[in-house]
Amino acid sequence: MKKILFALLLSVLVVGAIFIVYLKSNPPLVMQSYMKMQDNTAVTLITLDNQGLREIKLKQLLVNDKLPEHVGLVISKSEPFEVDTKLEESSEMSLHKLTQVAMLPRQYIDPQAIGKPQHYALQVTAPDIKKITIQYEYLKLPFTLTAELQSEQ
């Protein structure tokens, strides 16, 4: 009986370790694109996508390993973010604090449903962004997404 219980416990631990390694090697948060706003301010828009099965809770964003002047989560309920996207307050877009709203998984959002969050972006106010680090939580596990941004020539 002890051998069966030990084998069962060991197999659960092995499966759990494999699951965690899989999650760490295939993180759910993906950076789609980034764009500097047209008015030449220090505002950059970074579009994100949750490709996981559960919601993502954003925890912190670092720019060049420092906290930025301002960061907010922009949710568009209609159209994706493009180069000429205006971020004024409207019924289609809303600005939230970084930790205020969890990102829903892409596959569970009905594109035909009106009023559901469809597209996510980070509005970052910081000069000369070279590297961003996004710390987030998925399935109660901490993750980090780091991206090197190319400067425009």
Q: What is the pLDDT of residue 153?
A: 43
Q: What is the pLDDT of residue 92?
A: 74
Q: pLDDT tens across 62-89, in order?
A: 999 999 888 999 888 776 676 556 666 5
Q: Where are the domains of the chain?
A: 29-148
Q: What is the pTM assigned to this prediction?
A: 0.81
Q: What is the pLDDT of residue 112?
A: 64
Pick the CATH number of 29-148 from 1.20.140, 1.10.3470, 2.60.40, 1.10.10: 2.60.40
Q: Are 37 and 88 in contact (CB under 8 A)?
A: no
Whether the pLDDT of residue 152 is over 60: the answer is: no
Q: pLDDT tens across 47-67, in order?
A: 899 998 899 999 999 999 999
Distant-in-sequence, close-in-space partners of 43: CB < 8 Å, separation ≥ 6: 36, 37, 123, 124, 125
The pair of three-digit structure tokens given for residue 121, joined into one six-digit string: 């972006």
